[in-house]
Structure 1
Amino acid sequence: MIPSFQVFDNDINLDTLNYYLNCEAIAVDTETMGLIPRRDRLCLIQICDDQDHVTVVRISQELAQNIKSAPLIQQLMEASNVTKVFHYARFDICTLRVHLGITTNPIFCTKIASKLARTYSSRHGLKEVVKELEQIELDKSAGSSDWGSTYELSDQQLKYAANDVRYLVSVKNKLTKMLVREGRYELAQKSFGYLHTLVELDLLGYEDLFSHQ
């Protein structure tokens, strides 16, 4: 068993790796200096299971420039027996690939799942999805803040980071039931499988590849 909340620098330890490797699914999120992976460095990785064991990994500026330098995180993210649950996986898996050389698999994206299942709503942000499915009001006020000072993160920032993963596995399970009920689960799986191709196109600078123009 690992602590309910723990903070590491640059990589997890073996106990944490082995614990999460025994999970069916884990939630993952990243915090960065901005929204352009090739420009904006990775600052934080958050992980959580369905038992509320949260791990926060602070990524130093030096590590974010050294590809394949977090081997235990890489082993976990690439473990085929553990589903990695993201909200807007397109960004996070791109960030992990650019900065740590990680090809994350398998993937479940709650944003894609929400758009496929919750067609009665136009609101698919994490805050809205968690509010409806978990009856929890997330505080997103620390989202647009300086994550670069990883060793001086405030309690508010750490709480924000933890809450971004704390409910994702439960949300995944509820969205999965909705997808199965509506006959869209296989379509969701195909969409998740396409994400790595989409990330490759993003990194090559392609936009609107499938548009008519």
Structure 2
Amino acid sequence: MAGRQIPTDGAITLHRNDLPDGLDFGPRVAVDTETMGLNPYRDRLCLIQLSSGDGTAHLVQIIPDQPGGKPADCPNLRRILSDPSILKIMHFARFDVAILQHTLGITVGPTVCTKIAARLVRTFTDRHGLAALCREMLGAEMSKQQQSSDWGAPELTPEQLAYAASDVLYLHMLWSKLEALLVRENRRELAQACFDFLPARARLDLLGYEDPDIFSHRA
């Protein structure tokens, strides 16, 4: 059962603990997360943002059943994120996939990652953050002012909701442009191999194999 829905500015809808029954994002959905930090074991998942690319965003606030308790079951959200027929578009998918798999107990896929794509084809720059890519490739300015705010607060501010929504509203357009560059540079197949590996890379991170990196030659 989905939680309470809270309309914000018309383009953003906040849900408590799950998506409503019957919500259809189509064959592609942009996905992002907000957490209390960058350690998936220590820092809890607070918010999951989704957009079908139509200019609207659905935000799911994950609220534990008690302080330090377990998150809600989120059956509708879990179904969409693990559905093999729905492509998930992410930026820095390595982290998002890991925190979603750890918190919801699912394998997230299939996925594409705009950060990986950008690093494969935009080798002329080291600016691969989402804000930089949106500015340089889409002409869209994104504010990162709320990036390090308290996402675990019981009530999120309008500024937090707007920031969270912006992280998914541009991903469809950004992926379209990056995919065209991958094809142009004959790296689309290589990118797909990287994307397919993301659930396994996330499991390695969750097992602590970020350091030491098992792919490193270091003894």
Give yes or no for TM over 0.5: yes
Match of 1:172 in 2: 175
- TM-score, normalised to structure 1, is 0.92
- SS of the residue 1:103 aligns to: coil
Contact 1:68–1:101 under 8 Å retained in 2 = no
Aligned residue pairs: how many? 207
Report the more deviating stretch, 185-194 or 62-71: 62-71
Shift of 1:152: 1.5
After superposition, where does 1:34-183 map in structure 2 within 5 Å? Answer: 34-62=37-65, 65-66=69-70, 69-149=73-153, 151-183=154-186
| Cα distance change of structure 1 residues 65 and 179 upon mapping to structure 2, 3 Å threshold | farther
For 2:41 and 2:69, the matched residues in 1 are separated by 10
Contact 2:65–2:71 under 8 Å retained in 1 = no
The counterpart of 1:10, out of the listed 13, 17, 25, is 17
Match of 2:206 in 1: 203
Contact 1:68–1:102 under 8 Å retained in 2 = no
- SS of the residue 2:189 aligns to: helix
For 1:165 and 1:65, the matched residues in 2 are separated by 28
For 1:159 and 1:15, the matched residues in 2 are separated by 24
For 2:18 and 2:205, the matched residues in 1 are separated by 27
Query: Structure 2: where are the runs of 5+ without partners?
Result: 1-9
RMSD across aligned positions (CA) = 1.7
CA deviations over 1:112-142 (Å, ceiling 9, x no partner): 0000111111110111111111101100010
Contact 1:28–1:48 under 8 Å retained in 2 = yes
| Cα distance change of structure 1 residues 187 and 38 upon mapping to structure 2, 3 Å threshold | same
Shift of 1:62: 2.8
Contact 1:66–1:100 under 8 Å retained in 2 = no
- SS of the residue 2:162 aligns to: helix
Q: What amino acid is the match of 2:16?
A: D
The 4+ residue runs of structure 1 with deviation greater than 6 A are: none
Q: What amino acid is the match of 1:27?
A: A
Q: What amino acid is the match of 2:214?
A: L
The counterpart of 2:191, out of the listed 159, 183, 188, is 188
Contact 2:137–2:174 under 8 Å retained in 1 = yes
Query: Structure 1: where are the runs of 5+ without partners?
Result: none
- SS of the residue 1:85 aligns to: strand
Q: What amino acid is the match of 1:52?
A: G
For 1:76 and 1:164, the matched residues in 2 are separated by 19
